[in-house]
Structure formats: structure tokens, C-alpha cells
Amino acid sequence: MTQLINPQTKYPQPPYSDQKQNTPGVEVDMQPLADHGETSYKGSGKLTGRKALITGGDSGIGRAVAIAFAREGADVLISYLNEDEDAQDTARLVEEAGRKAVLAPGDIQDEAHCKQLIQQAVDELGGIDILVNNAAFQMAHESLQDISAEELDRTFRTNIFSMFHLCKAAEEHLKPGSTIVNTTSVNAYKPNAQLLAYAATKAAIQNFSANLAQVWADKGIRVNCVAPGPVWTPLIPSTMPAEKVETFGQDVPLKRAGQPAELAPIYVLLASDDSSYMTGSTVQVTGGSPTI
């Protein structure tokens, strides 16, 4: 019998140590270090031969998804901004699983770069079957007056405009059975007052995904979302006040932040044939925080 594990105590609970990173943050400075499934995730061939592009694939949820996809048999293109060390670590883990890893630094705010990412996947992986739109930018603010026009533009260009550009560029290469998995957030349903711009983009992602699922249904291309609650990634200490980092996740029923490793199996489900009757759906992974 497999040992039962209490989900409240499976991973560290707040308070977390006082820490602050510069944006976009790196894994090595996380205290405690995050779990991406490096030692725990075991694949079973669910994605054998698939070709996946993951934005924000260097760290956090993206790294966990890259590890899981590779152990399920997929080759992976890792899109990231400039976190070279983190990206190289993720690529190493993909290659240790016996799969091909392609590193693709650059800013997905730029439409031309989004087009290039799709072409790079086609050229270097031999195609694209799975697109995971996961990269995101956020900053916490107490006042609307603290959000500059430049920051608002950056948030929307990173979180939602890039998704539009990548999906549009990918469409001609996707075949029936291909899948899109977008990362929305609990903030699409219960917006955090300090994350006004970010929460607005996550609501837009939710709507975009539900709409695109209908548009592409006749093509046999599925589009789904994952809505994480508080998850322990470099985004947190690099974009939130130290006092919020210290207590991060304590308000959900499981009383802790989630770990990227706890999200990866959901992305595998949505990318695989096991979810063949799911499109336009959102899987909520919120630590018990209700969304209605």
C-alpha cells in the first residue's frame, strides 16, 4: 500500500524566510527551494514523440512541466526571458530524461519573437504538437496610481498578447490532436487587490481560451487552462513585498503555497490523449481556495 501523505504538511508551510529578488527572479535564491518533481515525477509514455513549446520554461511551473513532459516522452523547446542559468538547468533535466531540449531566450512581448519561437520549434524539434503558454509578469501595488502605463503595457503584452501571437503563428503547424494549455490563475475568479493588472490579464486568458477552444474544435485542436492558486516560484519574491512573501499561501485551506511539482501532472493530463473530451475547460489547482 502506498503511504498516505497529509497534503497540509507535504511541503513547507509559512512563515517563509524574509527574501527579495530582482525581477524576474531565479530558482537558486528561493528559500526554501521549490520542488519541480526532479526526484519524484515518473513518466509512463503519455507524450511519446510529441513536440512541446513551453513559455517560462526555465523555472517554476514551466520547469516542472518541462521535466514531466520529457519524462512522458516529449521533446521540449524552453522559452525564457534571460534567466540563462535556470534555463540550462531545466534543459539538463530534459536531456537526462533522454529527450531533446532547445533553449530559446528572448522577450515574448515582441510579436516577431513569438513567430520565431514557433518557427524554431518546427525547425529544431521537427514540429509542434503542444503549446504551453505559461510565462507571466506581475507586480504588486497598493494604489492604481502606482501602476504606470509602461507597466500595464508590459503586463498585457507578456501575459495575453504573446498568447495571441503564439497561437496565431502555431495554427498552420498544428494537426488534429494537438493541444494548447494556458496558465490562467485563481486571480481570474478572485482578483487580488494588489495585482490589478495581472488579475485582469488572467481573466482575459480564461476568456481567450474558452473562445479559441470553440474556434478550433472543428480542427481537432483542444485548448484548456490550468488555474493555479498560490504557487512557490521565483515570481513571488521578485514581484511581491517581503511581508507578503513571508505569509504566502497561508490563507488557503491547505495553509501553504503549492509547489510546481503539484501542477505538472495537470498539464500532462491536458496535453495528453487522456483528456480527449476536454476543451475549453479549466482545471483549478488552488489549495482549496474556492473560486465561486
Q: Which residues are catalytic?
A: 198
**Distance between CA 224 and CA 222 in Å, rounded?**
7
Q: Which among 58, 63, 164, 60 has a CA at the least distance from the CA of 109?
A: 164
**Distance between CA 282 and CA 134 in Å, rounded?**
14
**Distance between CA 67 and CA 289 in Å, rounded?**
27
The helix or strand, by DSSP H or E, that contains position 75, with its residue range, turns out to be strand 75-80
**Distance between CA 77 and CA 131 in Å, rounded?**
10
Task: Report how far apart, in Å, the C-alpha atoms of 232 and of each of 53, 70, 126, 193, 280 are.
Answer: 22, 22, 33, 20, 26
Residue found by looking up cell 513571488 in the block? 236
